[in-house]
Structures are given as structure tokens and as C-alpha cells.
Amino acid sequence: MNETMNGGMPEPQLAAGTIVQEDCVEQWKPSRVELLRYHQINIRFLSIGCVIDVGCKSVPFTTIKEAMKALNDYITNPYEVTKIWEERFTKEEEL
């Protein structure tokens, strides 16, 4: 067991993420599994299409096929897909 000098308490474990460098700035990038655990995902099927809720955001899709592709893209690479969707939400808020 890892113990520190402060009263025998175990050392905190670092998350499984990695340090990445973007635009000359080092950032901590959470692992794929950590990102997927961070937000709850719900799917509501409608008469036509569905709505996928990821955390506090809801995204409507006109076809289930389109929704499942977007969901699979998110599950495969949540870090990059989250950046794409955040940019879209930010643009919509500016209008």
C-alpha cells in the first residue's frame, strides 16, 4: 500500500488520463472511459427520430440512424466529439 508521510494516509491515485499539448499549452486529457462516465446518456425515441440527452444538453435527430451514428462517434472518441458539439452549442447561443 502506498503511504505518505502525513499520518499513514494512502496517496491519492491519479486519474488514468494523459497530458496532451494543444496550441503550445499542455492540458490534462481524461481517458475515454472517464469521459463516458462523466455524463449520463439518455435516448428518447419519438414518432419520428429521437432525442439524445448527454448531461444537461439535448440533441434532436430526425432519424434514428443519424442519432446512432452520432452516439457511436461520441462513444468512440468522446473528447473530440465533445469539443465539436460544444462549438456548435456556443455558436447557437451567440445567434
DSSP 62: S
Question: Considering the domain boundaries, does residue 75 fall inside one?
Answer: yes
Question: Considering the domain boundaries, does residue 20 fall inside one?
Answer: no
Tell me the pLDDT tens digit for each residue of 17-72. 667 666 677 778 889 999 999 999 999 999 999 999 999 999 999 999 999 999 99
Question: Considering the domain boundaries, does residue 29 fall inside one?
Answer: no
Q: Which domain holds residue 66?
A: 40-94
- Give the number of domains in the chain: 1
User: What's residue 15's pLDDT?
Assistant: 54
Cα distance between residue 95 and residue 89, in whole Å: 10
Is the pTM above the cut of 0.85?
A: no
For residues 8 and 68, the model is more confident at 68
User: What's residue 1's pLDDT?
Assistant: 46
Q: How confident is the model at residue 3 (pLDDT cuts 50, 70, 90)?
A: very low
Q: For helices 78-94 and 64-76, what crossing angle results, to 10°?
A: 120
Cα distance between residue 11 and residue 41, in whole Å: 32
